[in-house]
A and B are shown apart, each in its own frame.
Chain A
Amino acid sequence: MTDGMFTIFLVDDDAGVLKALSRLLRAKGYEVRPFASAEEFLEGHDSAVAGCAVFDVAMPRLDGLALQQIFTASGNQRPVIFLTGKGDIPKSVRAIKAGAIDFLTKPVRDKNFLDAIARAEEVDARTRQTSADLAAIQAKITTLTPREREVLTHVIAGRLNKQIAGDLGTVEKTIKVHRGRMMEKLGVHTVVDLVRLAEKAGIAAHGK
């Protein structure tokens, strides 16, 4: 899923700054997608691409902080770095609380900037890894039959095969078969692994 190069979505209304930052990042080997306004960014953003966003705080119409709100509200988990003309502590606190990687003051030193980008890269990679794992689990779960899925919820609830059979009005042997297939499909060998997986996939135990 982490296809292609790490891409930085750069948003700054100042053409000169936008160009300079782009140049710096490209010189360090990053892919850069510059945008002159928040609106352009929202239109041109591709969440599938690995990368991070760099927002200028002071922009006409939609400023950086407002852009962050809209961006995250739409379910995007891309890490965001802010650049600001002047150190504004209340704004920076708000931004960090909303999940920003960093809040940097212009003119920004390359080390600080690149460090922040590197951190964003890590965060992004992690996030992407997590989502990728989840997606794999979800995909396995979808292969389960309804009976197997039912058995799953009972197993992770800590029930024995005999009890499950009783609950489902069948024989212990049948449950044993379902359980075996389910474990195989999900690629787990122990109940502990199964419980962890179900937890990741957000599947609730029976009766809970």
Chain B
Amino acid sequence: MRDSRPFVGAKREWTHTALACAALLLLATIQASAADTRRVLLLHAFGHPYSPWSDMAGSFRAELVKKSPEPIDLYEVSLDTARVQNPQDEGPFVEYIRALLAGRKLDLIVPAGAPAAFFMQRHRGELFPAAPMLIVGADLRRIPGAALTDNDTGVLLDLDLPAYLKNILQLLPETTDVAVVVGNSPVERYWTSELRRDFQPFADRVKIEWFNDLTYNEMLLRAASMPQHSAIFWFLLSEDAAGVTYAQDRALEGLREVSAVPVFAMGDYEFGRGIIGGPLMQTQALGQEAAAVALRILKGETPGAIDPPPVVFGAPMYDWRELRRWNISESRLPPDAIVQFREPSGWEQYRWQIALIAAVLAAQTFLIVYVLIQSRRRRAAEAEATEQRQEVAHLMRVSVLGELSGTIAHEINQPLTAILSNAQAALHLLAQKSPDLEEVRDAINDIVHEDNRAGDVIARVRNLLRKGEQKSKQVDLDELVTSTIALLNSELIRRRIEVETDLAGRLPATFGDPVQLQQVLLNLFMNAMDAMASTAQPQRRIKVSTRALDGGAVEVRIRDRGTGIGRKSQAQLFKPFYTSKTHGLGLGLTICSTIAQAHGGKLGLVNHPDRGAVAVLSLPVQEFLAAAK
């Protein structure tokens, strides 16, 4: 409807103007000699600005001027006779037209609408008996074919009035009331009766209320208070019951604003002004069609020979905004419906951006979820690994203690021996005539002491056998070394190994699980002992030294005089299941290293330049650890 042709036309006009400016004289000559200028009289019966005639005329005018090869000299006359209730004398109007076109040959008369056509039919003889006539926009039922002469033709309308009502009922099946807005001028009264007749068949289905007897204000009041399941059909309001005129259907918008119910209307000129839509009178198409016919007549064709088909409804058109507003599903629209003013949804407007953002979000979400799952899995795996590491560490401790069982038994046996002998000594003393009670007390004190000693050994062993939960506390490395040597005492004697200690004393405390750390020392001692199996006895010495290092760490070095580390072994020392022993699992150093690392320290093993190997365990001191945290 709103095509770009006016713009093309404007462009062409602009081109003409440019040409005119370029060759003014020549152009003037051409125009002066333009004897073939066409004179067209466009006649309105109802006042210039009234719909729908003004809309048809506008379309016709624009199309004619644009398409005509010759210049069009257009006379547009608005008689307003149709608004006069009872035209007693049309004489002055006739005189006016005559005066307007005095002496000029008229090439075409175009009455817009039935009232204008009737006027022209009445006065053509006296005004322009020879001029051909093209009736535009009158309804077929108003201008029967018989009323036309050879010099007449018409681009007429064939309004299917029931279609309007059907459309309303199709879209809103629950509708019980329809108010028809129609004015009270003669032409509107005609249409009121036409509508009444054509709507009659729907009487049992829907109650029709006629506004033709109401003033516009009454119409507004009524529209505002329409019951539910009602609709308003705006047909035509040029003049209300009070005789007030309403140009260009401006009144429609006022009513539409207050209306409590959906508003339907007759013509395409009302489309986009708050009506829902449906089958619409095609004023634009009509004007264009009429212009085409007019051009043919102006070329010389006999009007009577041109019999253009009446203009009917085009494809039904709907205003998307109104459908939305009244919550009418598009599924209710006829299949050939055209929905206009569709507000592109955010999705339609920014489809690619949204798609892209959604894709990015989805990717991000996926990544986050993936990372979360991975991190959870990793945490679970880490927990499992920790658990397994503890399990293995525990098993290694059990294994080491198994190896040391004889030694441990001996370590417990010694205090038991002392206890038994002390007890028996005490008994013997008491059996004497005058027992030395001082000595008896000493014996009993020693029993207590020795019992504690045995208890310590058992506690140490039980600690090492303890499973699972790590208990971190302050650890004095010197104390740990001493306690480890004590645990190994018998084993060292059995293997004829001497231990030389060089402890720093007053070392800053480190922080960790004493059991695990003792396990490390135990393991390192056992390694040192194993390494010296083939060392001659006087050389079978292990030297243990502790010291504080710069940078918040303490260190224990355990040096043996054994076989040292083979070149091949060096790289594999800390790898699991690597062993140079005939009966080793190959997990000892791996676990020791893991424990050292878990405590923030490290374990190293190197050959001593003289002989044997040195194991170096360094651990961060507590203050340093605390600071690091």
- B418 and A17 contacting across the interface, CB-CB below 8 Å: yes
CB distance from A111 to the nearest CB of B (A): 9
Task: Give chain A nearest CB distance to B94 CB in angstroms.
Answer: 151
Cβ proximity bits A65-88 to B, threshold 8 Å, 1 near / 0 not: 000000000000000000101100
State whether the Cβ of A207 lies closer than 8 Å to any Cβ in chain B. no
A21 CB to closest chain B CB (Å) equals 5
- Kindly list chain A residues whose C-beta atoms are within 8 Å of the C-beta of B374: none
- Chain B hits for A108, CB < 8 A: 417, 420-421
- Say yes or no: B425 contacts A24, CB within 8 Å: yes
**A59 at the binding interface (Cβ < 8 Å):** yes
B493, A60: Cβ atoms closer than 8 Å: yes
State how many residues of chain A have any CB contact under 8 Å with chain B.
25
Q: Which of B40-48, B300-308, B346-354, B405-413 contacts the other chain?
A: B405-413
Find out whether the CB atom of B446 lies under 8 angstroms from the CB atom of A85: no
Known: A23-B421, A107-B419. A58 touches B494 (CB 8 A): yes
Q: Which residues of B contact A106 (CB under 8 A)?
A: 413-414, 416-417
For A95-122 the 0/1 string (1 means CB < 8 A from B) is 0000000000011111000000000000
Contact A107 B490 (CB under 8 A): no
Q: How far is it, in angstroms, between the C-alpha of A73 and the C-alpha of B417 when the chains are bound?
A: 30
Q: Given the known inter-chain contacts A61-B498, A85-B414, please indicate yes or no for A19 contacting B446, CB distance below 8 A.
A: yes
- Known contacts A17-B417, A23-B421, A27-B425: A58-B410 contact under CB 8 Å: yes
Task: Name A16's contact: one of B406, B428, B446, B498 (CB within 8 Å).
Answer: B446
Cβ < 8 Å to A, chain B residues 87-133: none
Are B443 and A85 in contact (CB-based, < 8 A)?
A: no
A14 in the interface (beta carbon within 8 A): yes
B52 at the interface (CB under 8 A from A): no
Q: How far is the CB of A67 from chain B (nearest CB, A)?
A: 14
What is the CB-to-nearest-CB distance from A189 to chain B, in angstroms, rounded to a whole number?
Answer: 50
Q: In the assembly, what is the distance between CA of A23 and CA of B442, in Å? A: 10
Cβ of A208 < 8 Å from any Cβ of B?
no
Is B270's CB within 8 Å of the partner chain A? Answer: no
B492 part of interface (Cβ distance < 8 Å):
yes
Known: A85-B414, A107-B420, A110-B424. A20 touches B446 (CB 8 A): yes
State the CA gap A17–B446 with chains docked (Å). Answer: 10
- Shortest CB–CB separation between residue B419 and chain A, in angstroms? 7
* Chain B residues within 8 Å of chain A by Cβ, number: 32
> For chains A and B in complex, what number of residue pairs have CB atoms within 8 angstroms?
90
Chain A residues in 8 Å Cβ range of B496: 60-61, 63
* In contact, B493 and A58 (Cβ under 8 angstroms): yes
Are the CB atoms of B425 and A107 closer together than 8 Å?
Answer: no
Query: Do B439 and A27 touch across chains, with their CB atoms under 8 A apart?
Result: yes
B428 and A110 within 8 A (CB): yes
Question: When the two chains form their complex, are residues A23 and B494 in contact, meaning their CB atoms are under 8 A apart?
Answer: no
Which residues on the A side are within 8 Å of B449 (C-beta)? Answer: 16
Are B418 and A85 closer than 8 Å at their CB atoms?
no
If A27-B425, A86-B409 touch, whether A14 touches B498 (CB-CB below 8 Å) is no
A86 to B442, CA, bound (A): 28
B618 contacts partner chain A, Cβ-Cβ < 8 Å: no
Docked complex Cα distance between A108 and B410 (Å)? 14
Flag if B490 contacts A109 (CB, 8 Å). no
**How far apart sit A61 and B442, CA to CA, in the bound complex (Å)?**
31
B239 at the interface (CB under 8 A from A): no
- The smallest beta-carbon distance between A104 and chain B, in angstroms, is 10
Cβ B498 vs Cβ A107 within 8 A = no
Q: Which residue of A is nearest B414, CB measured?
A: A14
- Whether the Cβ atoms of A107 and B410 lie closer than 8 Å is no
* Nearest-neighbor residue (CB-CB) of B429 within chain A: A27
Q: Is the beta-carbon distance between A16 and B418 smaller than 8 angstroms?
A: yes
Could you tell me the distance in whole angstroms from the C-beta of B417 to the nearest C-beta in chain A? 4
Bound complex: CA of A14 vs CA of B453, how far in Å?
12
- Rounded to whole Å, the gap between the CB of B192 and the closest CB of chain A is 131
Tell me if B240 counts as interface (CB < 8 A to partner A): no
Q: Is the CB of B439 within 8 A of A16?
A: no
Q: For A27, what are the chain B residues with a Cβ–Cβ distance below 8 Å?
A: 425-426, 428-429, 432, 439
Decide if A14 touches B418 in the complex (CB within 8 Å): yes
Q: Which residue of A lies closest to B407 (CB)?
A: A85
CB pair B492–A60 under 8 Å, yes or no, is yes
- A-B contacts, 20 of them at CB < 8 A, read A16-B414, A16-B418, A16-B446, A17-B421, A20-B443, A23-B421, A23-B425, A24-B424, A27-B429, A27-B432, A28-B428, A83-B417, A85-B414, A86-B409, A106-B417, A107-B416, A107-B420, A107-B421, A108-B420, A110-B424
Apart from A58-B490, A110-B428, 9 more pairs, CB < 8 Å = A16-B450, A17-B418, A23-B439, A23-B442, A24-B428, A60-B498, A86-B406, A106-B417, A108-B420
Chain A residues packing against B (C-beta within 8 Å): 13-14, 16-17, 19-21, 23-24, 26-28, 58-61, 63, 83, 85-86, 106-110
